[in-house]
Amino acid sequence: MNATAIIEVYVFVLAGFVGFFVITRVPALLHTPLMSATNAISAISLVGSLVLAGADHGLLPTVLGFIAVTCATINVVGGFIITDRMLKMFKRADRKGPAGPTTGAGTGPAATIGGTK
């Protein structure tokens, strides 16, 4: 193993740890928008895997490129389906109005404090 390979393994392991700690600290509210952004990054990896699968570097790189194309395509399509479902949920929630019971103007404890009820 040469020095370049050791540095590459070190960067890979470090990126894995950093990615794990960043993802576990994401609040639930930001999870779906973050996943939509990573879906776009996966689309970039799809382009790279297409280049690898299409290049004539031998049988092994072509097979690995095909597997990468298949996995990245499943990831991109699944991400778009989940994002679409999420957006439909938000559209339905907007049509129903605000969540929880609503009180009219001039009612409740705040209106009775001044004795104007």
Write the Ramachandran bin of 97: left for phi over 0, alpha for psi from -120 to 50, otherwise beta. Answer: left
Report yes or no: 82 and 63 within 8 Å, Cβ to Cβ.
no
**Tokens 């929880």, located at residue:** 100
Does the global pTM surpass 0.75?
no
Backbone phi and psi for residue 101, each to the nearest 5 degrees, phi listed first: -70, 140
Residue 81 scores a pLDDT above 80 = yes
Q: Which residues contact 86 (CB under 8 A, 6 or more apart)?
A: 32
Going by C-alpha positions, the residue among 79, 90, 93 that lies closest to residue 38 is 79
Confidence of residue 113 (pLDDT cuts 50, 70, 90): low
Looking at every residue in the chain, the average pLDDT score rounds to 76
